[in-house]
Chain A
Amino acid sequence: MARDMSDIDILKMELEQLKKEVSTPREPVSKTSKDTMDWCEAASCTDLLITGVPDDKNPYKPEKGGWKNIMLYLHRNTWQTYCSYVSLFTGLKRLKLERRNRRDVH
């Protein structure tokens, strides 16, 4: 809207607004800042970002031994165990083949 208005119309709009704002009731800063401070201090005791959330009550903290963690742990470990068995088995088979080859050569 301000883009389509002429400079003089913008000035008139500003002037109208300033006339309204001149008579805004204003309270002393000492009173309002004290009220803000008191409100803030009273509410800070229950502000969880200040006091912190204890681990056992924090819904965002994953529980130790939770189902998801146990499954992930087992899954990770089972796969690792499987991989190590496969590499052990392949290694043993290779050894066996080499021994047979050497025997045949001799």
Chain B
Amino acid sequence: MGEMEELRKEADNLKDQITEARKVVQDTTLQEAVAGTTLVGRVQLKTRKTLRGHLAKIYAMHWGTDTNCSKLCVSASQDGKLIVWDTLTTNKVSAIPLKSSWVMTCAYAPSGNMVACGGLDNMCSIYNLKGKDGNVKVMRELAAHTGYLSCCRFLSDSEIITSSGDCTCVLWDIETGTEKTIFAGHLGDCMSLAVSPDFKMFISGACDFTAKLWDIREASCRQTFSGHESDINAIGFFPNGNAVITGSDDATCKLYDLRADQELITYQDSGIMCGVTSLAPSLSGRLLLAGYDDFNVNIWDMLKAERVGVLAGHDNRVSCIGVSSDGMACCTGSWDSFLKIWN
């Protein structure tokens, strides 16, 4: 059709313009800028605690952020349980049975009052941890997605953002259980999302090999980052909120700068041929911990793009990783049904 051809030409033209504009501001590369910096010394973390209790693959974990729960974390497993752990004592604070065992994500509210999870049931279930009678009950079931729930993150006790296999992300009002904003634009399943430190924006990574930066209040996509050659499985904000890190099935992680609107550096090694499943930056952003399909976690120096450590200890794929809010420890969850705390 003539119209399609014209539209495609226009789109290609605009893409070329964007590429040109990005080249204009590329007066140097990150490698050149950090040439004078010394590589971080070898990082050797040890397993301090092993959290045993799940009976099947662990798909997701999330640390608590509030000062009262900075040592607590929640994990979701396909044995149909959501477990809130006290990582210091390895005790289970709560073990929440789920209606659907096909869970793919979980999240801890910043206040520590709620946890959320979702998966192949296409719904995001919110649980109140601080119920009056001490029991943990379902508070809301947010149902409107037409695809699986791949990731969810709380903005506050009243708002949560979810990403789905139906190619959209949604901002929900938890009180009413309704959708406030739908963020559509991805052409493939949205696999992960991360909220900026100032809670004004969020980024999503999808199976269309791109990452998109969304403005929450304006409900629009601000920037799109491409470059990956396969599905983006994991995404995170650099701690100062000015850059984005993505991890993909193409075995690489990339750092994109938001202000320069382009890729700064790629974290890859010829010896790594398996996909990245999860990632987490350390508190300073100097280290990038990335979990891979080959059962290991590689620690990268984010500025020099070199590997400075490996966390080997799991007997199956590392599916999730997180650094605690005080930066004191990192937690890895695996398909071998164990979570390990390292520092």
Q: Are A49 and B257 in contact (CB under 8 A)?
A: no
Q: Are A49 and B323 in contact (CB under 8 A)?
A: yes
A77 to B37, CA, bound (A): 53
- B-to-A contact residues, CB < 8 Å: 1, 3-4, 7-8, 10-11, 14-15, 17-18, 21-22, 24-30, 33-34, 37, 40-41, 43, 45, 48-49, 71, 87-88, 147, 166-168, 182, 184-188, 220-224, 238-240, 242-243, 257, 259-262, 264, 282-287, 302-303, 323, 326-330, 341, 343
Across the interface, which residues of A come within 8 angstroms of B30, CB to CB? 29, 33, 36
Q: Are B259 and A15 in contact (CB under 8 A)?
A: no
Q: Tell whether A82 is near chain B: CB-to-CB under 8 Å.
A: no
- With contact pairs A37-B34, A49-B327, A50-B287 given, residues A60 and B21 touching in the complex (Cβ less than 8 Å): no
Q: Please report whether the interface of chain B is mostly helix, strand, loop or mixed according to DSSP.
A: loop
Q: Are A58 and B343 in contact (CB under 8 A)?
A: yes
- A-to-B contact residues, CB < 8 Å: 1-3, 7-8, 10-15, 17-22, 24, 26-37, 39-41, 43-44, 46-50, 53, 58-61
- With contact pairs A24-B222, A61-B48 given, residues A37 and B282 touching in the complex (Cβ less than 8 Å): no
A44 to B8, CA, bound (A): 46
Q: Are A18 and B18 in contact (CB under 8 A)?
A: yes
Q: Name the one of A10, A12, A47 contacting B284, with C-beta atoms under 8 angstroms.
A: A47
Across the interface, which residues of B come within 8 angstroms of A49, CB to CB? 43, 45, 282-283, 287, 323, 327, 330, 343
Q: Name the one of A15, A28, A39, A60 contacting B14, with C-beta atoms under 8 angstroms.
A: A15
